[in-house]
Amino acid sequence: MKNLVKRIYRWHPSPPFFYGWLVLGTASIGALIATSVAQTVFGGVQDLIAGEIGWDRKTIALAATLGTWTSGLTMPFIGKLVDRFGPRWMMLIASLLVGVGTIYFSGSQSLWQFFTGYIIVRSVAGPNLQNLIPRTVAVNFFEKKRNFAMGITSLNRIIGESINIQIITAISAAYSWRVAYRIIGILAIPLSLPIFLLIRHKPEDVGQLPDGATHDHKESPTIKIPEITWPISKIISLPSFWFIMLGEFVAVTSTSMALFQVVPFLTDGGISQNTAAGALTLGNILGGLSVPLWGYITDKFTTKRIAILALSMAILPTILFTKVDISTYGFVLVVVWTAITSLIFVLGSMMLGTVFNRSSFGTVTGITGPTRTAAMGLGPSIGAFTVAWTHSYTPVFIAATIGYFLVISLYYKVRTGNSQI
């Protein structure tokens, strides 16, 4: 019996292609589960929740902020754990917790129930299923195509967000947001099984090498490639580490601040809720499709230069938000802006991947996790309170523009390739 259990646990398919591609595809299931409570989705459906419960937008934004911050606090621990033990059990447990937790907060009857349920679910979903662990696995399986692989993890997230926005909006229109989240929670539980069966830590676990490279000796179940694990003291001693971390904080704060407001920006301008959600969804899809392409380009050229180019492209549409007629051009502008800025949420990880090797990537990402998620959580609240106090969206978009200029100057100072020294 014991041997049977071991064989089942160690079983994995042998596809006619590199196993890393199967891992990335499987990670999309985790992203679909996790993004039901992601900030982009919450920003798109916030009016549906607030309207049914009787809260205002600031309350929903505060829930998003606290949930994101809590997930950031767990990231240093999750980063160390995934480097040491691998992602299989961590992703399985996370997907089950998200399913049960989503069912719980869908039945909330009070503010504290809603906040408690959402914060716990968000803190589990984000690092385990949506960003830290999937990106770490991508780095472990790919070297030459590393940024392209991380781009696919970002595509997984964006497609998951786009699907969830439409599902929740449609079910909420027919029934309520509670029914929508209850259905999503129930579906998450069986979807955890393929994650556990197919996800692996490194290609060596299935007898392969990064990028599907071949080796001269006979394949074995485990192949070890010696790598130096960076101590935390050395990681934080590099100036480039701080430039990336600070740049990512500013970039994510600026983008999440504006992103959480684009649907209210359209609806307050006279566009319907469904149409506004459609603009966000379309922009997300286009952005998701472009991120792997950006990753492919950075693998061929210089990550730092491509990051600066992408940030520069985001500046013009952000400024245009303060000038356009919403009813005429708002839909198109939201689509364009969302498509361009989708890359920003993974740029920091791509930059870190050029500085640190794969055996330390989870640890490094875990260290930067609190600041990244602090930024992700700070943005919606800053945007919501700014709009409430000024009765205008213009300060939000001006602040985001200034932020992008600052990030360009910080990323310019990064020295890549430190792990080779």
> Average pLDDT in the 320-338 region?
89
Domain assignment of residue 11, yes or no: no
The C-alpha atoms of residue 259 and residue 271 are separated, in whole angstroms, by 17
Is there a domain that residue 132 lies in? yes
Q: What is the pLDDT of residues 137-166, one digit of tens each?
A: 998 899 888 888 888 888 888 888 888 888
Is residue 403 scored above 90 in pLDDT?
Answer: yes
Over residues 398-415, mean pLDDT: 93
Question: What's residue 222's pLDDT?
Answer: 46
Q: What is the pLDDT of residue 418?
A: 47
Q: Which amino acid is at 292?
A: P
Return the pLDDT at 223. Answer: 47
pLDDT at residue 416 in the model: 67
Q: Please report whether residue 7 resides in a domain.
A: no
- Is residue 286 a part of any domain in this protein? yes
How many whole angstroms separate alpha carbon 149 and alpha carbon 141? 9
Question: Alpha helix (H) ranges present in 199-272?
Answer: 232-235, 239-259, 262-268
How far is it, in rounded angstroms, from Cα 349 to Cα 111? 35
Q: How confident is the model at residue 417 (pLDDT cuts 50, 70, 90)?
A: low
Q: Quick check: 42 and 262 in contact, CB under 8 A?
A: no
Residue 176 structure tokens: 């309520």
Give the side-chain half-sphere CA count within 13 A for 86: 15
**Cβ–Cβ < 8 Å for 173, 274:** yes
**Residue 324's closest CA among 394, 254, 389?**
394
Q: For the purposes of burial, counting CB atoms within 10 Å of the CB of 376, is it exposed (0-12), middle (13-18) or buried (19 or more)?
A: buried
* Phi, psi (deg, nearest 5) at residue 225: -110, 115
- Put simply, whether the predicted model's pTM sits higher than 0.85 gets the answer no
52 vs 321 pLDDT, higher one: 321
CATH of the domain at 394: 1.20.1250.20
Question: What pLDDT score does 221 carry?
Answer: 47
pLDDT for the residue 291 = 83
Output the pLDDT for position 227: 59
The mean predicted confidence, pLDDT, of the chain is: 84
pLDDT tens for each residue of 177-232: 889 999 999 999 999 999 999 999 889 888 889 888 765 544 444 444 455 666 77
User: Is 358 domain-assigned?
Assistant: yes
Does residue 352 lie within any of the structural domains? Answer: yes
Give how many domains the chain has, as a whole number.
1
Q: Name the band, by pLDDT with cuts 50, 70 and 90, for residue 1.
A: low
Structural domain harbouring 179: 16-420
Q: Count of CB atoms within 10 A of residue 13's CB?
A: 9
Sequence length of the chain is 421
pLDDT in tens, 164-173: 888 888 888 8
State how far the Cα of 270 lies from the Cα of 275, in Å rounded to an integer.
10
For residue 349, being part of any structural domain is answered with yes
